[in-house]
Amino acid sequence: MTDDPQSSPQANGPIRVVYGVYLHPASDWRAIMAGQIGDLRACGLLDAASLHVIVTDLHGTPGLEAFLTELCPPGTTFRIHRENRYEFWALHHLWSLARENPEGEVAYFHSKSISRGIQRRSKTERTLTRETFRPWRDVLPLLRRGGIAKAGLFPAEEGWVWFNFWWARADYIARLPEPEPSTNRYTFEAWLSGKLSADGVVPRNDAFSLHAWSSRRYGPEEAGRQMRRLANRRLLRWRGLRRLFLRLRGEG
């Protein structure tokens, strides 16, 4: 049986995923990166999308390039920067991709909390990564049917997505102003807002909540509360499955 080109994930344009990573020498960055990339691989996204890994490495970490090559699928684009500009490097790369080819969709995520020197993935990051990318086959049709320009768990009233894990149409990103370096890291969250575009304020329903599965918007307190609730629910579900597994093995 031959594939129907109309049902192919890339039939309507390329899918490009940009991953921004900050390497903190005190963190177990290998485990964190492997976990995030593993989540994308597990849901099948890396079979349909091109991956772009943009790394800030202030210390010239030995073995980094070899690790990236082994971890990521063939054809992955790598960029390593020695200056810390927060999320600027990754978002500028994503914007450049959209400007070069405004067809299809782009997605963005980052190594949340790694700058704290953590030894394992945080429950918030795990939840953001999995809940943003696991339903990708349902997200793409939403973006392709028009009206919706971006999607994430908790869209803000002002037009960005809280926590900065999101999907967007490439033509929307291409119309945004070029990202600029800033010492205010929240600038890079607000950049996604349609209010910054040359077209002015975009319609309220331009953003889609993957949590509510609607055009719902969230204020900062509600987004934080819902994020904690969602992350804790996932953690409790994992612990329940682990206890069941141990009981089945006779270890519980």
236 contact partners, CB below 8 Å, separation of at least 6: none
pLDDT one-digit tens code per residue, 25-68: 889 999 999 999 999 999 999 999 999 999 999 999 999 999 99
Which pLDDT belongs to residue 4? 31
Contact 22, 111 (CB under 8 A): yes
CA-wise closest residue to 155 among 95, 86, 226, 84: 226
Q: In the prediction, which pLDDT does 248 show?
A: 60
Determine the average pLDDT of the residues in 85-90.
Answer: 97
Beta-carbon contacts of residue 106 (< 8 Å; ≥ 6 apart): 15, 16, 17, 18, 94, 97, 98, 167, 168, 169, 170, 173
The model's pLDDT over 200-247, given as tens digits with 9 standing for 90+, comes to 555 556 899 999 999 999 999 999 999 999 999 865 555 444 444 445
* Number of other CB atoms surrounding residue 250 within 10 Å: 6
Collapsing DSSP states into helix, strand and coil, what is residue 214?
A: strand
Cα–Cα dist 249/14, whole Å:
45
Q: In CATH, what class is 15-219?
A: alpha beta
Q: What's the pTM value of the predicted model, to 2 decimals?
A: 0.87
Domain residue extents for the chain: 15-219
pLDDT of the residue at 206: 87
3-state secondary structure of 171: helix
In the chain the first and final C-alpha atoms are separated, in Å, by 47
* Residue 250 in this model has a pLDDT that exceeds 80: no
Residue that is written with structure tokens 């690790």 in the block: 67
CA distance 239 to 224: 22
- Say which DSSP state 2 is in: P
